[in-house]
A and B are shown apart, each in its own frame.
Chain A
Amino acid sequence: MALKIALFGITRDIVGQPTLEMPTPAPATVGALLDHMRAHYPALGQLRSCAVAVNNEYAPADQALGPNDEIALIPPVAGG
């Protein structure tokens, strides 16, 4: 099962593409996804924050991820 991750702002620049497909981490949680991403893209660890959104909501580290979830990395926002 693969996950599709949407990337925005500086996370898209770091990864170099607007979406990323990756094998589901074990365990299939938000926290494991972030660990995996930071290991592959160390520049993500330099950010002031990097959250994960699942289905348009900020997701806690222990939230489970499924193949039908809309997942995105959320670097520090700067609207307004």
Chain B
Amino acid sequence: MSDQTLGAGPKRIDGRLKVTGQAPYAADHALDNTAYGYGVFSTISRGRIVSLELDAARAMPGVIEIFHHGNFPALHHTPSSMAKGNKVEETRLPFEDERIYYDGQFVALVVAERFDQARAAAQAVKVRYEEETPRANLEQGVKAHGTKKGKGNHSRGDADGAFERGTHQIDVTYTTPVETHNPMEMHSTLAHWPDGRLQVFESSQGVVQQKGAMAKIFNLAPHKVEVISTFIGSGFGSKLWMWPHAVAAAAASREIKRPVELVVPRQQMFTTTGHRPETEQTLKLATDDQGRLIALSHHSVSTTSYTDQYVETCGSVTKSLYSCDNVSITHRTTEVNRGTPTSMRAPGAAPGLFALESAIDEMALEAGIDPLTFRLNQFAERDESQDLPFSSNHIKEAAERAAEQFGWHQRNPKVGSMRDGREIVGYGMAACNWEAIKRPCDAHVALRADGTVYASCATQDIGTGTYTIVAQTLVELTGVPFERIEVELGDTSYPKGPISGGSWTTATTLPAIAEATRHAIDELKTRAVRSGGPFEGVDVEALTFDNGVLSFEGKRIPFAEALSTMKLANAEGEAHTEGADTSKYSYRSFGTHFVEVRWDPLLANLRVARVVSAIDVGRVMNEKTARNQVEGAVVMGIGMAMFERTEYDPRTARVVNNNYAEYLVPVHADQPEVDVILLDYPDTAFNEFGARGIGEIGITGLAAAVANAVYHATGVRVRELPITKEALMGAV
């Protein structure tokens, strides 16, 4: 059984359901009499709808109703508070008025008997617009109306003054493009209103938040809304907060009094379900004559929509990763005609560490110091931005072990000096970093008379392995093996759990599950020593529970038998656990990436040949799923470094490459050997299991490590992602 406890690497308990096609995703749920919605989406990005020609579409086969701003029911805004559990990213409701703020915005919704009928009719709707000149990108936004102050700013010492005093200085600007999450599974909603209640099947990373937002928008008592998301085909952040399609589907269902299913087409996954915004980041660094960092400024501007203020906090890591007395971090935004941005895997840190860790590389080279040595000398010993110790920080060991494994010390620092046949080899490295957050959580666990153990929580498994590590927690605490464990997640009828995002889920959920399990065991013991119980009269403190068996002085009774004897169906435990105490420690995860690139100058071909990553995320709960998270994040980081870029036509602000063929992500052939070292030091100051979460950290810093390796190979310092052939052509 030890292969199923925490820290081991058992296979996913839901793996078989998934690979055999039995795991129901949102749009797989079948309800009688379901009607299908398909959107009509704006083909301008700024202006207003003058008129809609609907007659032809209305007359088409199967069409039930066409909703638009002229006939959509009046709804309410959600206050959009994460703390209150009703956050959305785009607060404007679909069809709220005739205004168009971005390309691919819902302008109408056709509901028909069949999906194909709805789509055909949607294409037959003619929309007349009054078009205004859009702001298509960051540059145009800044030019049109400047920038606004964002959140997460930080200042200590005098960064500008110290910069001027520096012996070596770096003053450089980096840019990152819009990236689109592109999860495999489309955003989808199946909504219906049984008995005046709203039940929604959604591909969601946060059922509790969606429930709260739906209750506000439809003015319903919270208990009248249920959101279900049992299986999710990934989200990468785009499914944290619900988007207009979900509101549209629920409203349409209420109006036509039938279940309505609405799947967002791939093209509109680029427009109306969030994206990582474009950023421009200026880094000013200076060292003294000893190579000590004395000034660090990180000023960023990111794009947001005209409807909502989303801030990409690019400097969130910069304020605490390195020891420096003079630091200035600012975030500003500029509005453009794009949909509202949202969190994408490691929001802030992913673009932010591309800039910071590229700049650190530039700074080290400017100061004449090996980039690894430069970092080892200056990694912060405590969180200087909060003046708190780190709860647990092994970044130096991570750097040293990964460097050793990678062979960093065989690196010839001279640019372009390492060759292998036609290819020039480049070595680069970067630090990775992500915050650790533990939020309040509720959970329910039952030891059942049939010998099974059951747990439920309204968090989700977005493909990362949450079902499995909850089951492992139950194995650890009850001794009952996987075959007799049932875990239910992703339904708001279960106790409140966290969003599956921010790498919060493990640290937030498992302590609640554990506490509920202990309560269930206590309940079992309490019952067992009462009158009529199998251990009647025994001091409850003396009764033990191990490997599913109650025992006292040689008398051993399995819990199922004990419950049966007492004619009880189960012994239950509920738990509420609080968020982490942030007054004593700064909780963060750490790591380093080492990357080898190969540049073939005669073919303008760049590839990542090898990655070694050492990751310090506290205790590893499942060796297999944890490694899988880092490997996946590294591959996504390669995509960020070399491929991903959502292109908007600068004249129209319309997305150009809105499909899997032209929006490039790495394919199997792009994936190098990825060697992941998991340090596995429990962070017990953070929670009882010492786990900090592992979903995001792997992508942070990876693009910088690639860019630094590219510089080493080619001598070209690429400060604009992605790193394209044309940026490198003409290099030595």
Q: Does A pair with B?
A: no
